């Protein structure tokens, strides 16, 4: 649950920004979208495997090639 408490001298705009920021930080929107439809366990397993593979490919790979001087 997201709660934004208004402090003395705080404007409505800043209160709304604070609420929005905490709403995004809690990942509520992503959670609701994920729970909107039922997914079969096999699809969940495939998605996890895909995320795992993508995470592996994001690691920086650097190769150093040395050229001999002519």
User: What's the DSSP call for residue 54?
Assistant: H
CA–CA gap between residue 36 and residue 57 (Å, rounded): 29
The DSSP code for 24 is H
**Six-digit token pair at 10?**
């705080």
pLDDT in tens, 5-61: 889 999 999 999 999 999 888 888 888 888 999 999 999 999 999 999 988 765 565
Report residue 28 as tokens.
């509520």
List, for residues 40-51, the tens digit of each pLDDT value. 999 999 999 999
pTM for the whole structure: 0.48
């Amino acid at each position: 649950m997201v709660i934004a408490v208004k402090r003395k001298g705080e404007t409505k705009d800043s209160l709304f920004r604070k609420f929005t920021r905490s709403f995004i930080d809690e990942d509520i929107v992503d959670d609701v979208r994920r729970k909107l439809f039922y997914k079969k366990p096999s699809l969940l397993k495939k998605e996890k495997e895909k995320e795992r593979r993508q995470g592996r490919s994001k690691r920086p790979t650097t190769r150093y090639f040395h050229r001999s001087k002519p």
